Structure 1
């Protein structure tokens, strides 16, 4: 594993990827720790801020051009920008089951499912995790 392809990809992609990695780690911590505590709220707000940063930064990343500069993956970003505030609202109004559902769907949909697509061949994260394919070394 080497972060050099990610660092060479430019500031927006680097911000996007490192925020996603941090959000993944914080999300796992949130699932493991007790709910409703002050620490849960602090980590939760930080996680939400990271998720918003990931979603917003995605609009400056365009490798797949389906609808102009955008692709179906950008629909996940719109989903995140709608569901994160709604999930916070649900918690603040006492709808804890709704809050849990909103945040869990966001974690799995935006970080796990979307993150899995970044591991496909010819993507930067594929190169970060699995290295450069041997054929590219023989130029």
Structure 2
């Protein structure tokens, strides 16, 4: 798979989301609350996640097991979009616990698990790291 502009944007947004996520979660944890930092970084993280999900719709791979070019990892796109909607709905309802749990789960599944899956040898990032840099 070649580095297309869509993949470059997707990869940049995904890496940004992975990097920003812990800061967003940290800004509201513990005894000291940092609401301005949490809100600013949270909006940046949500923007990155929306961009990742939307650009992911345009990345198709016909070499891996797929359905019309969509691989099993693409199933996380609607899950991510629904989780973002759900987290903001919880926030609008004043359910901070629901918001927090939804965002923590979204970070884990969308950034950590999916990020790990992109390191498989057949994926672009996996080929780049294992084949070109470390190979």
1:60 aligns with 2:58: yes
Q: Residue 117 of structure 1: CA displacement?
A: 0.9
The aligned counterpart of 2:21 is 27
Partners of 2:27 and 2:37 within 8 A in 1:
no
- What root-mean-square deviation, in Å, do the aligned CA atoms of Structure 1 and Structure 2 show? 2.0
Kindly indicate whether residue 80 of structure 2 is the aligned counterpart of residue 80 of structure 1: yes
* Range with greater deviation from structure 2 (92-101 or 118-127): 118-127
Asked if the contact 2:25–2:38 (Cα under 8 Å) also holds between the matched residues in 1, the reply is no
Query: Aligned-pair distance for 1:30?
Result: 1.3
Deviation at 1:69, TM superposition (A): 2.2
- Mean Cα displacement is larger for which, 9-18 or 66-75? 66-75
Separation of aligned partners in 1, 2:23 and 2:74? 26
**Partner residue of 1:137?**
none
Bigger mean CA offset, 45-54 vs 31-40: 31-40
Quote the Cα distance in structure 1 between the aligned partners of 2:123 and 2:71.
15
In 2: Cα distance, 1:76 partner to 1:54 partner: 11
User: Is residue 13–residue 49 contact of structure 2 (8 Å, CA) maintained in 1?
Assistant: yes
How many equivalent pairs are there? 128
Give TM-score scaled by structure 2 length: 0.84
Deviations 1:64-118 (A, max 9, x none): 3522121221110011111102101212221011001111111110111111111
Q: Offset of 1:54 from its aligned partner?
A: 0.4
User: 1:10 maps to which residue?
Assistant: 4
Unmatched segments (≥5 aa) in structure 2: none
Higher relative contact order, chain-length normalized (CA < 8 Å, sep 6+): 1
